[in-house]
Structures are given as structure tokens and as C-alpha cells.
């Protein structure tokens, strides 16, 4: 395969460009007319933007080879994610690149709000010395309510603790145990509203969080509460917040993001108790550099065929550990082995994870297995993005099972399903010294490292079969790099798992089957 072409339409850190250039051809269209970018996309595999470039369906359609769109930052409002998903294009961003900068800006706004910094500055510059007007409040002893305990929310909680604040949080994806380790008490949303002196928002903007802070929710809050939003515009109803401040229910607010941006007209702008900044949460040199490097790394992973765990348009459930990646790759390989054995799709595929792996979300594993199974069963390229839609169109459903109990291995993945009246299973694990290992097929226990060229042979459990197969492979020039033999569940037959150094000619399957004692053979090219 040739080098991928990556179009960079907006400025990112040079380190990110340099990293991409090691494996890709990078075309930079920064400052060029949009028509130049669209023209370059005709044969491009990836596009990287910031916030100024609108990536709509027309642009995506103009790039038939596009595999990934990278946003050097968090928000993807300027990208038509639905259109990208329909076209099987992965959308990645840099969700953690601005975490420290956003957390620091949040603390800056909390302090500015508590001590009236902006209003006092403005008053003094206008020639007044109004100390009595700007009496503030201490943070020590106050309760900070954090909505969203992800990376940014966690950093804010840690910094608030240094100010002797009590920290409570709402986040349905965070366990109480993890919160305790952070010194944070998890509450329901209404419980948090009832006790927090200051509420800071660190949630994504979704249909569920749109206008989360409105007149109804503000009514549940403590009198004199202060509200800070350095997340996304639209989570707070600006009109309802302005009215609550005028009524005295809310003591003040600090807002960095707005419903419409750029914003020069908001009901909050005329209220002295409100501190506003023009979306500066990520506006540090460090955050901008980190964003460019992070998105370049994610684009590189996507172009290498890897699953990007932070991809915007992959439904992967709760955050997964990077330690899951070897098992994600294993699941795709098992999917290819399953379909090579079964020859056609099951109506239902059961993906079972066992052992320590069951503590991780199953969704990345099942999605990868689905991609592997569909790879040779579809007439269109299969990606992590379009695999669920392709499966649905072919009547294939997926059942996910987690089971902490496992007999032989610390962690294991098993794929199973009924095809042609026969129940088929493949199972695998990842070992420190051997890497990905195939440990079972249809009840046969084998333990062969998964290689690019894999030959599976079912034979009578009698002397001579192994020798005949070895001689046959030698005669046609196929060198064996690894070979494991395992017995079937009833002991009457055996299976050889053979890793080869070179491709096995498909026409040689018939010759292999002519050997005495050989009952079945399948060759899998994993690539």
C-alpha cells in the first residue's frame, strides 16, 4: 500500500506535521481558498482542521478515499459528524489536549467571580475607588459542584481541593470508588444543585445536556449560587441565567462559551455580576501545541487501521483503558478466523469477554470483532464507523457478554454463533511473550500464535498425520514458523494450528485434503 495523503487545512504544531510526514504525504493548505482544500481532498485519506473550516457533506463527498477527519481541539461543531458516519469516515479530536488549560481557566473564572476582579478592574480604570462595592467571598469552606468528572472536571476538582473546598460531582459514567480516590462525593444532579455554592460545568453538549441549566434547574439550587461554564455554549440557558441573577437567586456567573459564537450580544453582557471571556478555555500556547500533536497521532492510528478509543463517532460506551488495544486487535483477527471457518455470516454473533478483560467495556471488543467478520463478507470497505450499519443491513446482530470467571487464562475473548445448523466458536487471548494467540476452535484446544498466514487442519487423531502435512507443506515451499496440535472434545479427532512464513496457495487445499487422515482445512490470510 502506498503512503496516505493527509490534507492539513489549518495551523497545527510543527511536531504534529513532522510525526505525520514519517508515514504520510502531507499537503498544507493553510491560508489557501477552500476550493484548494477541496481539490486536494480528491485523493486524500485524511483531513485535519481546527474550528474555522466547515467540513460539510459536500466536502466529505468530494473525498471518496477519506478515512479520517481530525479536529485539533475538542469541539466538532464545525464538522458534519452524521455525514462522516454515513460515509464510514472516522472523526477524531484531541479531547485531553486542553484539559489543563481549561481547568486553569475555570479556576481563574471562579476566583474572578468570587472576588469581582473584572468589575473592580473596570471601576478603577474609570476613576473610582469603590472598595466597599466589591466585597467578595472566600473559596475555603465552600462546596464546589462539578458537572462532569472527566479529565477537565478531575483537574478542576484537584485544584479546588487545594483551596480547601469540598467537592461534589455528578457524572453517570464515574464510579463512586474512583470518586472516593479523588476525594470527591458523587451525587445525583438534584442533590448537587441543593448543596453546591459554586457549580462548574464540564459536560459535552448533547441533546441531553442542551439547556441543562435553565429556570427549572436553577430553582433547585441554593440561593446565592454561582455558576461557571467553560464547557460548551447551549448547556446554560443565557436568558434564564440572566433572569435568575437579576432576581437575586444566583449571585453571579462566569461564562466562557455561548449559544452562538462569535458572540457580541448576550443577555448576560449587561449584568455586572457576570464575568465573561471569549471562549478562552483552550487558548494557551501549550494547549494548542498539544492539540496539534494529539490529533496527528490519532489520525496516524486511524490510517494504520487502529481503533481510536476517543473517536467522536464510535459508540464505545464508558472510557476504556489503553491496555485494551491489544485485545481490540485480537478481536478483529478472531472475527476474520470465524468467517473463514464458517464461510458465511451468522444471524447472531455472541462476543464474550472473560477474566480481567471483563472489567473493561465490551463495546470496543465487539465492534472490532464485527469489523473482522464483515471484512471479507462485504463489497464495500469496512471501517469501525460503518461496521454496525453494515451488520444491521445484513441481518447480523451482536450479543455482548462479560464473565469474570475464566479457567486457563487471565483474559480471553470468544466469538460464537450458529451457521448452517452448526455452532461455531473461536477463542483467543494475548500473552506477554507470544502476543495474540488462538486458543480454541469449535471445542478444539490449541494454542498457536496468530500469524499473517494461518493454516488450520482437522485430522484423525492417529500417527502419521502430522508428518504427512509437514512433508506436503515442505514440498510446496511453505515453511512452518509455529505449529500446535490439540485434541477435540471427544478425543476422536485433532486439529493442527499452523503459522506459515508465506502465503498458502488456495489451490493446494485440495491436495492437502487428499492426504490420509485429513478431514478439513482452512487457510486464513490475516495481513
Contact 291, 97 (CB under 8 A): yes
Closest listed residue to residue 254, CA positions, set 126, 397, 106, 364: 106
Cis peptide upstream of residue 262 (ω within 30 degrees of 0): yes
Q: Which of 279, 414, 453, 458 is catalytic?
A: 279
CA atoms within 13 A on the CB side of 83: 18
Cβ neighbors of 251 (< 8 A, separation 6 or more) are: 224, 225, 226, 245, 273
The residue assigned the cell 464515574 is 174
Distance CA 111, CA 109 (A): 5
Distance CA 518, CA 465 (A): 7
* DSSP state for residue 112 in the 8-state scheme: H
H-only helix segments in 22-61: 34-40, 57-61
CA atoms within 13 A on the CB side of 279: 14
Contact 116, 138 (CB under 8 A): no
Residue 8's CB is within 10 A of a number of other CB atoms, namely 27
Q: Which of 185, 243, 261, 356 is catalytic?
A: 261
3-state secondary structure of 436: strand
What backbone torsions phi and psi does residue 205 show, to the nearest 5 degrees?
A: -90, 115
Q: Exposed, middle or buried: residue 127 (CB in 10 Å: 0-12, 13-18, 19+)?
A: exposed
Q: How big is the chain by its Cα radius of gyration, in Å?
A: 29
Q: Which of 50, 226, 232, 329 is catalytic?
A: 232
CA dihedral 144, 150, 151, 152 (to 10 degrees): -40
Distance CA 206, CA 203 (A): 9
Q: Exposed, middle or buried: residue 451 (CB in 10 Å: 0-12, 13-18, 19+)?
A: buried
Contact 412, 439 (CB under 8 A): yes
Catalytic residue status for 261 = yes
Distance CA 193, CA 214 (A): 12
CA distance readout (Å), 522 to 441, 493, 507, 511, 518? 12, 16, 12, 13, 12
Residue 125's CB is within 10 A of a number of other CB atoms, namely 8
- Which strands, in side-by-side order, build the sheet including 422-431? 397-403, 348-355, 411-419, 422-431, 435-441, 444-449
The maximal CA–CA distance of the chain, rounded, in angstroms, is 102
DSSP β-ladder status, 250-255 and 225-229 = parallel
3-state secondary structure of 381: coil
The residue assigned the cell 492539540 is 291
Q: What amino acid positions are annotated as catalytic residues?
A: 232, 261, 279
Amino acid at each position: 500500500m502506498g503512503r496516505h495523503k493527509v490534507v492539513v487545512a489549518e495551523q497545527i504544531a510543527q511536531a504534529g506535521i513532522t510525526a505525520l510526514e514519517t508515514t504520510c504525504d502531507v499537503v498544507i493548505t493553510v491560508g489557501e481558498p477552500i476550493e484548494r482544500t477541496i481539490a486536494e481532498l480528491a485523493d486524500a485519506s485524511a483531513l485535519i482542521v481546527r474550528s474555522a473550516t466547515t467540513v460539510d457533506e459536500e466536502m466529505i463527498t468530494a473525498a471518496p478515499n477519506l478515512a479520517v477527519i481530525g479536529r485539533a481541539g475538542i469541539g466538532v461543531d464545525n464538522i458534519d459528524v452524521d455525514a462522516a458516519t454515513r460515509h464510514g469516515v472516522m472523526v477524531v479530536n484531541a479531547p485531553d489536549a486542553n484539559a489543563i488549560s481549561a481547568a486553569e481557566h475555570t479556576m481563574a473564572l471562579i476566583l474572578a467571580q468570587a472576588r469581582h476582579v473584572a468589575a473592580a478592574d473596570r471601576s478603577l480604570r474609570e476613576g473610582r475607588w469603590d472598595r466597599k462595592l466589591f466585597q467578595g467571598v472566600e473559596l475555603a469552606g465552600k462546596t464546589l459542584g462539578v458537572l462532569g468528572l472527566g479529565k477537565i472536571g478531575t483537574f478542576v476538582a484537584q485544584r479546588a481541593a487545594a483551596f480547601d473546598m469540598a467537592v461534589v460531582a455528578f457524572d453517570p459514567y464515574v464510579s463512586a470508588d474512583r470518586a472516593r480516590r479523588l476525594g470527591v462525593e458523587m451525587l445525583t444532579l438534584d442533590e448537587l444543585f441543593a448543596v453546591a455554592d459554586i457549580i462548574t460545568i464540564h459536560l459535552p453538549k448533547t441533546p441531553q445536556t442542551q439547556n441543562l441549566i435553565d429556570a427549572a434547574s436553577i430553582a433547585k439550587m441554593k440561593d446565592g449560587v454561582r455558576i461557571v461554564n467553560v464547557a460548551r455554549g447551549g448547556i446554560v440557558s443565557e436568558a434564564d441565567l440572566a433572569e435568575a441573577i437579576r432576581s437575586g437567586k444566583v449571585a453571579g456567573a462566569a461564562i466562557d462559551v455561548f449559544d452562538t459564537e462569535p458572540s457580541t450580544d448576550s443577555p448576560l453582557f449587561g449584568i455586572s455580576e457576570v464575568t465573561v471571556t471569549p471562549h478562552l478555555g483552550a487558548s494557551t500556547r501549550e494547549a494548542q501545541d498539544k492539540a496539534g500533536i494529539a490529533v496527528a497521532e490519532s489520525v496516524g492510528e486511524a490510517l494504520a487501521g487502529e481503533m481510536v478509543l476517543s473517536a467522536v463517532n464510535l459508540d464505545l460506551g464508558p472510557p476504556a483503558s489503553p491496555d485494551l488495544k491489544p485485545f481490540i486487535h485480537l478481536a478483529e483477527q478472531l472475527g476474520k478466523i470465524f468467517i473463514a471457518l464458517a464461510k458465511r455470516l451468522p444471524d447472531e454473533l455472541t462476543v464474550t469477554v472473560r477474566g480481567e478483560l471483563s472489567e473493561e467495556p465490551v463495546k470496543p471488543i465487539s465492534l472490532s470483532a464485527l469489523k473482522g467478520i464483515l471484512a471479507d463478507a462485504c463489497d464495500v470497505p469496512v471501517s469501525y464507523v460503518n461496521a454496525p450499519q453494515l451488520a444491521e443491513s445484513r441481518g447480523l446482530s451482536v450479543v455482548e457478554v462479560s464473565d469474570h470467571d475464566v479457567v486457563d487464562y487471565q483474559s480471553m475473548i470468544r466469538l460464537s454463533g450458529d451457521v448452517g445448523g452448526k455452532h461455531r466458536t473461536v477463542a483467543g487471548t494475548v500473552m506477554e511473550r507470544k502476543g495474540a494467540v488462538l486458543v480454541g476452535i469449535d471445542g478444539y484446544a490449541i494454542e498457536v500464535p496468530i500469524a499473517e498466514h494461518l493454516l488450520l487442519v482437522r485430522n484423525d487423531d492417529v500417527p502419521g498425520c502430522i508428518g504427512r502435512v509437514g512433508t506436503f507443506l515442505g514440498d510446496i515451499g511453505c515453511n512452518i514458523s509455529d505449529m500446535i496440535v490439540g485434541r477435540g472434545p471427544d478425543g476422536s479427532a485433532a486439529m493442527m494450528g499452523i503459522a506459515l512464513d508465506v502465503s498458502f496457495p488456495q489451490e493446494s487445499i485440495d491436495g492437502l485434503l487428499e492426504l490420509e487422515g485429513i478431514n478439513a482445512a482452512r487457510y486464513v490470510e490475516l495481513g
